[in-house]
Structure 1
């Protein structure tokens, strides 16, 4: 499960770089925040219970609260992305 946001934080930004072979081991769900990811490198297949998308470098994806999702590797390039987590109150 994604790490929850600390109680007094409404917006959190992180950068994550994984080997190109990295895939999420299981479906995950965010219970307390939405997220927006900017893909720097790597090609990923992202899916939830109702859709499948392929994400390329330069793409932006939105993660909704309470929606299970998973992403899988589709390339050997490192998986590099910026992730912004935010609460509804931050909007």
Structure 2
């Protein structure tokens, strides 16, 4: 998956041990003395808090929007914002 691809792009030699989404981790899931490092997502790290081994690390990622996409998104948001505001005119209050 993308997680392992990201690690490889960062120069890591990866031994993939994927778990399904929403996996309920147990200590034995992470027990492997043969691993030098155990790298997991931030979401999985929260699930493993309290029993992750000392060699466990979290890969933190940030999403960045391209400048053109961000500008387009903000323009669309501004265009919609007038439609989202409640009508507080006198007529609407007295129905």
Shorter-chain TM band: under 0.3
User: Which of 1 and 2 has greater Rg?
Assistant: 2
Between 1 and 2, higher relative CO (CA 8 Å, sep ≥ 6) is seen in 1
| Structure with the largest fraction of strand | 1
TM-score of the superposed pair, with normalisation by structure 2: 0.20
TM-score of the superposed pair, with normalisation by structure 1: 0.21
